[in-house]
Amino acid sequence: MAFPVLVSFAGGASGRWRVERIAPLRGDSLALVRRLEIVEGREAQPAASAVWVLRGATGHERYVTRTEHQALAERQAPLGRPHATRAALIPVRKSEAWWDLSQDERRAIFEERTRHIGIGLEYLPRIARRLLHCRELGEPFDFLTWFEFGADDVAAFDELVARLRGTEEWRYVEREVDIRLTREPP
């Protein structure tokens, strides 16, 4: 794990990814935009014309054990694969009730009862994923998750997020927006 990297997702008129759909699942949506630009680093600035910018930092694992880490590391895929022309950006905010739980209680809900890691593993390496943390940054969301996959894996991705949304962990989600994107093949 390198030092945390700040990643900014800027919705506006420019950017490599075309926005196909912005669906508010819980709480307020985000303004509809045509394109999404992704920039990395604290010095980098998204286009000034951006309508909204969501920022998050990469970081260490919060709930994963060493055994689970190994299983994930063996199967996970990198971002930027040529065939991965579909993506999703899913910003989530959890409730105060979640953050009031102690670490052992959050872990029990996250994996022992929800099987968040176990469910995710079933979809690797088809679906590549990057998790950004933003609760400490004063952002409107607690997490941003970015997913990339091929056109053939859209149904699998829909299944993955539907399964997670039915879990005990998701009862603590108070805001969630599901943004779907496409890009031209390289």
Residues that bind its own copies (CB under 8 A): 1-4, 6, 42, 57, 59-66, 68-69, 96, 99-105, 107, 133-138
Shorter beta-carbon distance to its own copies: residue 104 or 184 = 104
Shorter beta-carbon distance to its own copies: residue 22 or 124 = 124
Shorter beta-carbon distance to its own copies: residue 49 or 65 = 65
Shorter beta-carbon distance to its own copies: residue 21 or 135 = 135
Q: Determine how many CB atoms are found less than 10 A away from the CB of residue 8.
A: 20
User: What is the nearest approach in angstroms of its own copies to the Cβ of residue 152?
Assistant: 32
CB 178 within 8 A of CB 86: no
User: What is the nearest approach in angstroms of its own copies to the Cβ of residue 92?
Assistant: 15
Please name the residues in contact with 36: beta carbons below 8 A apart, sequence gap of 6 or more: 9, 10, 11, 15, 16, 17, 18, 19, 89, 179, 181
User: What is the nearest approach in angstroms of its own copies to the Cβ of residue 21?
Assistant: 29
User: What is the nearest approach in angstroms of its own copies to the Cβ of residue 153?
Assistant: 28
Partner residues linked to 91 by β-bridges: 144
Print the SS3 string covering 68-80.
HHHHHHHHCCCCC
